[in-house]
Amino acid sequence: MTPNGWLQIAVFIALVALCAKPLGSFIATVMEGRKNFLSPILGPFERLFYRLCGVKLDASGQPEEQHWTRYAGALLAFSAFSAIVLYALQRLQVWFPFNPRAFSQNNVSPDLAFNTATSFVSNTNWQSYVPETTLSYFVQMAGLTMHNFLSAAAGLAVAIAMVRGFSRHSISTIGNFWADITRATLYILLPLSIISALFLSSQGVIQNLSQYTEATTLEGTKQLIAQGPVASQEAIKMLGTNGGGFFNANSSHPFENPTPLTNMFETFLIFLIPGALTYTFGKMVRDTRQGWALFATMTLLWFGGVLTAYHFEQQGTPMLSKAGIEMSATADPAQGAQSGGNMEGKETRFGIADSALFATVTTDASCGAINGWHDSFTPLGGLVPLFNIELGEVVFGGVGSGLYGMLMFAILAVFIAGLMVGRTPEYLGKKIEQKEVKMAMLAMLVLAASVLFLAAASSVVDFAKSGYWNPPGPAAANINNPGAHGLSEILYAYASGTGNNGSAFGGLNANTPWYNLTIGIAMLAGRFLMLLPLLAIAGSLAAKKQVPVSAGTFPTHGPLFVGLLAGVVIIVGALTYFPALSLGPIVEHLIQ
Amino acid sequence: MLSELKPAILATIVFTILTGLLYPLAITGAAQALFHRQAAGSLVESNGKVIGSELIGQNFTKPEYFHPRPSAAGNGYDAANSGGTNLGPTNSALSDRLTKDAAKFRDENHATGPIPSDAITTSASGLDPDISPANAYAQVARVAAARGMSPGSVRALVTSRIQGRDLGFLGEPRVNVLKLNLALDGK
C-alpha cells in the first residue's frame, strides 16, 4: 500500500463529503416541490409532463397526494409496464434503427430478454448478455439508458417517501409517485448526466452511432473495434448507481473509462447522490445532525472495506509470488515503476489502489459497475465486494435504496436499543412499534432467503435428463473455477441479483435458462419485496403523532448511535451469511 | 394499481422519448461537434488508413516491438469482444498459465529479477493499451537487439514516453504500447 494510493482514497471521500450539503439541500428543495434555480427553465416541462401522462392534480395545481398503497400501486404499474416494453424492444430489435451489426431476436433468447428486463427495471443491471455482440444501439439507448434513469428515479422517490414518513405527522399520504420520479429525472438526474457525459466524452469516452471500425494493426492483422453511444449511458450508469456497462468489460473498457481521471470521476459519481441524500434526509426531518450521523456510519463501514480490499490485493497470492511476480509497488525511476500486487483482471492505468477502491464503492452502493474482475481478486479481497452486497448495500448504497435500506437498519437499531433498556423505541420523534419492526424484518428475511435458498438450489440441482434449462449436468458445473471459489461464484450471483447490485464473479456462465430465470426472480424479489414493506412503514409512520423529545429519548445523532447502527449492520450481515462465506472465500484463503 | 395504469403507460412512452432518445442523441450531436476525435474513438491513422485506437490495446508478437499484456478478449485483443479470464486465485489453470508465461517472459527478455506485476497477468478489459514502465524497461534489451539499436537509445525513448499519474496523483505511471511502437518505427 502506497502513500499515493491513500491520498487518492482520501481525496475521493473528501469530494463526496464536500458535495453532500449543496446537492443534498438542492434535492430536498426539488423533491418538496419548491422553486429552485432550474424552475424557470424546467418548470413548464414538469407541468407538461403531468399533462401528457395524465397525472391527477389537486385544487392548487400540484399532483395529488397518495396513500402508501396507491403510491406502491403506481410504482408497480410503472415497473411492470416498462419492463414489458424493454422485453419487447430486445426481442424486436431487428425492426428498429441504429442497428449497424444487424442484431436480431436470434441474439437475445426469451430467458435472456426476461433476465435483462428485470435486471434494468430493478436497478440491478446484471449482465447475462455480452452487449457488443447482442444489443443494437437503439436498445441500448431507448431500452437501457431510459431504465438507467427511471429505476434510479424510482429508488430516489421511495427514499423520499420513506423520509416523509418521519418528517410528517398525522397525515395519511406520503407524496405522489409520478411527481417524485418526474422531479428526480428532470431536475437532478438529467442535468447531472448531461454535464458528466460531456466531460467523459472530452476525456476519450466514445459517443457515436457508427459502424464498428476495422483497423489494420502495425503488425498487419485486422482488429474490429466496437463503437456506440457510450458516454451518454456511462454518465447515468454511474450517477444512477446502475452499473450496466455498454461493453462486457464495463468500466475497465478503455472506451468507457479511458484514464485515471475518468476513473476517479466515475467512482465519485457512484457515491455523489447517495452521499447527498443523507443531507437531504437531515434537512427534511429538520435536524441535519441526523443526516450526518448516517453519513458517518456509512463512511466508517466504507473505510473498513477499502482497507481490507486494498491490503489483500496489494499483498497478492502465493500463486503469483511463486510465478516470480513482484508483489510490492516500486516507484524507483531507474528500475521503472510498477504497481505490484494482484494484477490479474486489473488495468495498468488503475493499478491496485484504484481497483480496490472501485470494487468497494461499487458494492457499497448498488452500482455493480466494475473496473477489474472481482472473480480474480484474492480470496479476502474478493470477500469485500461480496460481503458489502450481503450487508444490503446500505453503505451510501444505491440512489435512494441506500438511504431507505439504512433507515430500515436504523429502525432495527433503535428497536434493539429499546429492548436493552426496556423502553418503547423512538426514531426522529416517531414511536417504532410492532408493525414497523415486523415490516423491517420481513424485508431483511426476504433478502436473506432469496440469496441463500437460490444459491443452495443452484449448488445441488441437476439437469441430467433435460437440455432446455441448462446444459445437461449439474447447474454447479457452470462455474469457471473449481472448489471453494466456485461456490463463491454462485453465492455472489444470487447476492448480486437479490441486492440489485449487478456486479459478478464473472466466470459463472449465467446465460442459461436456469440462471437467467432464477437470478431474474432474485432481482424482482430483492427490489419489490423490499420496497413494499418499506412503503408500508412510511405510510404507518406518516400517520403517527410526533412524540416530544424527553429525558428518556435515545439521541440518534451522536457517536453512540453511529457505533450502534454500524454494529447492527455488521452483526446482522455476519450472522446471516457467515456460514456460507466460510465455505467460500474464507476457506479459500486458508488453503491457498 | 389499475387506476395508475394509464399514467404508467404514458410515462413509459414520454420518458423513453426524453431519456432514451432525445438525451443520447443530443449528447451524440454535442460530443461530435465539441470532441470529434474522442467521440469517434481516438483513432490513429497512418497513410490514410486506420491502424487502431490509442485507447485500445492491440497485439504485438514480433521481437522488434514492445509487447502488451496477455489478453483474454476473444482470441486476444478482440476489440469487439472485451473481457477478462475470471480465473480465481486458487485455480490451477491460472497457475499453469503463469508458470508458462513467466518462463517465456524470462526467456525472451533474458530477465532474471522479479517480473513486473502487469507483465504476465491478463488485464480486465483484455484491451489494456498500457504497460508499466518497469515492464517496458524489461523489454528494452530484446527490442534493441532485434532492431540493431543501442539499448541506451531505446531506453531513452521509453523514458520519454512514460505517462505520469493524472494530475500528479491519480492512477499509475504507464506507457502506451501502440504509441511507443509507432515512435520506434519513426511514425
Across the interface, which of A78, A254, A264 has its CB nearest the CB of B12?
A78
Sign of CA dihedral B45, B48, B49, B50: positive
Q: Locate the chain A residue with the closest alpha carbon to B182.
A: A218
Residues B17, B55 within the same domain = no
Residues B65, B4 within the same domain = no
Residue B161 CA from chain centroid, whole number: 15
CA atoms of A345 and B87, how far apart (whole Å): 8
Res A424: pLDDT: 84
B contacts of A592 (beta carbons < 8 Å): 89-90
Res A507: pLDDT: 87
Residue with cell 422519448: B17
Residue B167 has pLDDT above 90, yes or no: yes
Across the interface, which of B38, B121, B171 has its CB nearest the CB of A204?
B38
Q: What is the nearest CA distance from B141 to chain A, expressed in angstroms? A: 14
Q: Locate the chain B residue with the closest alpha carbon to A101.
A: B80
Q: Does residue A390 contact residue A577 with C-beta atoms inside 8 Å?
A: yes
Res A466: pLDDT: 66
Res A217: pLDDT: 94
Degrees (nearest 5) of the Cα angle A432, A436, A442?
Answer: 145
For residue A18, the one-letter residue type is L
Q: Please state the rounded mean pLDDT for residues A272-279.
A: 97
Asked if B139 reaches chain A (Cβ–Cβ under 8 Å), the answer is no
Q: Does residue A517 contact residue A111 with C-beta atoms inside 8 Å?
A: yes
Q: Locate the chain B residue with the closest alpha carbon to A208.
A: B28
What does the pLDDT look like over B28-60, one tens digit per residue? 999 999 999 999 999 999 888 999 999 999 999
Residue B158 has pLDDT above 80, yes or no: yes
Asked if B20 reaches chain A (Cβ–Cβ under 8 Å), the answer is yes
**Domain with B125 in it:** 43-184
Contact call for B52 and A70, based on CB within 8 A: no
How many structural domains compose chain B?
2
Degrees (nearest 5) of the Cα angle A454, A458, A464?
Answer: 140
CA atoms of A426 and A432, how far apart (whole Å): 5
With a pLDDT cut of 70, the percent of chain A lying above it is: 99
Task: Specify burial of residue A299 (Cβ count, 10 A radius: 0-12, 13-18, 19+).
Answer: buried
Residue B88 has pLDDT above 90, yes or no: yes
Q: What is the nearest CA distance from B153 to chain A, expressed in angstroms? A: 15
Residues B4, B72 within the same domain = no
What does the pLDDT look like over A343-352, one tens digit per residue? 999 999 999 9
Q: Please state the rounded mean pLDDT for residues B132-156.
A: 96
Q: Does residue A265 contact residue A199 with C-beta atoms inside 8 Å?
A: yes
| HSE-up of residue A516 (Cα within 13 Å, Cβ side) | 19
Spans of all domains in chain A: 403-591
ipTM: 0.96
Confidence of residue A277 (pLDDT cuts 50, 70, 90): very high
Q: Quick one: cell of B42?
A: 481516438
Residue A463 has pLDDT above 90, yes or no: no
Q: Of chain A residues 406-465, which have a CB less than 8 A from chain B?
A: none
In total, the C-beta contacts within 8 angstroms joining chain A to chain B are: 414
Task: Specify burial of residue A529 (Cβ count, 10 A radius: 0-12, 13-18, 19+).
Answer: middle
Asked if B90 reaches chain A (Cβ–Cβ under 8 Å), the answer is yes
A contacts of B104 (beta carbons < 8 Å): none
Q: Locate the chain B residue with the closest alpha carbon to A325.
A: B115
Mean pLDDT across chain B: 94
Res B186: pLDDT: 86
Res A371: pLDDT: 95
In this structure, what DSSP letter does residue A257 have?
S
Contact call for B171 and A263, based on CB within 8 A: yes
Residue A465 has pLDDT above 80, yes or no: no
With helix as H, strand as E and coil as C, how does A394-420 read? CCCCCCCHHHHHHHHHHHHHHHHHHHH
- Cα distances from A491 to residues A374, A383, A450, A479, B170, in angstroms, run 13, 11, 11, 11, 33
Asked if A48 reaches chain B (Cβ–Cβ under 8 Å), the answer is no
Contact call for B124 and A74, based on CB within 8 A: no
Residues B101, B144 within the same domain = yes
Residues B101, B25 within the same domain = no
Residues B17, B100 within the same domain = no
Res A269: pLDDT: 97
CA atoms of A278 and A565, how far apart (whole Å): 15
Residues B19, B91 within the same domain = no
Q: Quick one: cell of B62?
A: 514480433
B contacts of A182 (beta carbons < 8 Å): 11
Asked if A185 reaches chain B (Cβ–Cβ under 8 Å), the answer is yes
Asked if B66 reaches chain A (Cβ–Cβ under 8 Å), the answer is no
Q: Does residue A237 contact residue A371 with C-beta atoms inside 8 Å?
A: no
A contacts of B126 (beta carbons < 8 Å): 249
Between A57-61, A524-528, B162-166, the lowest mean confidence (pLDDT) is in: A57-61
What does the pLDDT look like over A362-376, one tens digit per residue? 999 999 999 999 999
Rg (CA), chain A: 23
Residues B87, B162 within the same domain = yes
Residue A342 CA from chain centroid, whole number: 25
Find all residues with CB under 8 Å of A28, minimum gap 6, and list them.
A279, A280, A283, A284
With a pLDDT cut of 90, the percent of chain A lying above it is: 84
Res A451: pLDDT: 95
Q: Locate the chain B residue with the closest alpha carbon to A332.
A: B134
Of B114, B107, B173, nearest to B142 by C-alpha is B107
Contact call for B52 and A225, based on CB within 8 A: yes
DSSP-based three-state secondary structure for A562: helix
Residues B34, B57 within the same domain = no
CA atoms of A367 and A395, how far apart (whole Å): 12
Q: Quick one: cell of A116?
A: 435483462
Residue A464 has pLDDT above 80, yes or no: no
Res A61: pLDDT: 84
Task: Specify burial of residue A271 (Cβ count, 10 A radius: 0-12, 13-18, 19+).
Answer: buried
A131 vs B73, more confident: B73
Asked if B52 reaches chain A (Cβ–Cβ under 8 Å), the answer is yes
Residues B73, B19 within the same domain = no
Mean pLDDT across chain A: 93
Degrees (nearest 5) of the Cα angle A480, A447, A583?
Answer: 40
**Mutation to test the B interface, candidates A348, A352, A480, A531, most B Cβ within 10 Å:** A348
CB atoms within 10 A of CB A58: 10
Residue A234 has pLDDT above 80, yes or no: yes
Contact call for B24 and A376, based on CB within 8 A: no
Residues B88, B99 within the same domain = yes
Degrees (nearest 5) of the Cα angle A328, A329, A330?
Answer: 115
pTM over 0.90: yes
Confidence of residue B1 (pLDDT cuts 50, 70, 90): low
Asked if B7 reaches chain A (Cβ–Cβ under 8 Å), the answer is yes
Residues B61, B143 within the same domain = yes
Res A420: pLDDT: 87
Residue A468 has pLDDT above 80, yes or no: no
